[in-house]
Chain A
Amino acid sequence: MVNAREMDCADSVRGVLSGVADPEIPEISIVDLGIVRKVENARGGWRITVTPTYSGCPAFDVICGDIVSALNRAGYAPVEVVRALSPPWSSDWLSGKAKKTLLRLGISPPGPASEIKPVLFFNLPSPPCPRCGSPQTETTGQFGATACKSLHRCLSCREPFEHFKPI
Chain B
Amino acid sequence: MSSISEKISLRRARFDFALRMGDNGLILSHRLSQWLGRAHAIEEDIALANIALDLLGQARLWLSLAGRIEGRGRGEDALAFFRGESDFRHFALAEQPNGDFARTIMRQFLFDARQLALLEKLGESADKEFAALAAKGAKETSYHIRHSAAWMRRLGCGTAESNRRLKEAAEELLRFCGGMFCEERGEELLARRGVIPSADILRAQWQSTVEQVFAESDLPPPDAKAIDSRPSFCGHTEHLGYILAEMQSLPRLHPQAKW
Inter-subunit contact A120/B139 (CB<8 Å): no
State whether the Cβ of B222 lies closer than 8 Å to any Cβ in chain A.
Answer: no
State whether the Cβ of A58 lies closer than 8 Å to any Cβ in chain B.
Answer: yes
B 195-211 binary contact with A (CB < 8 Å = 1; else 0)? 00000000000000000
State whether the Cβ of A151 lies closer than 8 Å to any Cβ in chain B.
Answer: yes
Inter-subunit contact B54/A147 (CB<8 Å): yes
A 94-120 binary contact with B (CB < 8 Å = 1; else 0)? 000000000000000000000011001
Q: Which residue of A lies closest to B153 (CB)?
A: A121
A124's contact among B49, B135, B146, by CB below 8 Å, is which? B146
State whether the Cβ of B44 lies closer than 8 Å to any Cβ in chain A.
Answer: yes
Majority-rule SS of B interface residues = helix
A: contact size bracket? 20 to 34
A56's contact among B44, B58, B132, B143, by CB below 8 Å, is which? B58
B: contact size bracket? 20 to 34
State whether the Cβ of A78 lies closer than 8 Å to any Cβ in chain B.
Answer: no
Q: Which residue of B lies closest to A122 (CB)?
A: B146
Q: Which residue of A lies closest to B132 (CB)?
A: A86
Inter-subunit contact A141/B46 (CB<8 Å): yes
Inter-subunit contact B47/A120 (CB<8 Å): no
| Cβ distance B53 to chain A, nearest Cβ, rounded Å | 4
Residues in A120-139 with C-beta less than 8 Å from chain B: 120-124
Inter-subunit contact A86/B53 (CB<8 Å): no
Inter-subunit contact A142/B132 (CB<8 Å): no
Query: Which 6 A-B residue pairs are closest in the complex by CB-CB distance?
Result: A56-B57, A55-B57, A141-B43, A86-B132, A143-B50, A143-B47
Interface residues of B (CB under 8 A from A): 43-44, 46-47, 49-51, 53-58, 60-61, 116, 128, 131-133, 135-137, 139-140, 142-143, 145-147, 149-150, 212-213
Interface contacts beyond A55-B54, A120-B142: sample of 5 additional A-B pairs, CB < 8 Å, sorted by A? A54-B53, A55-B58, A85-B136, A86-B136, A143-B50
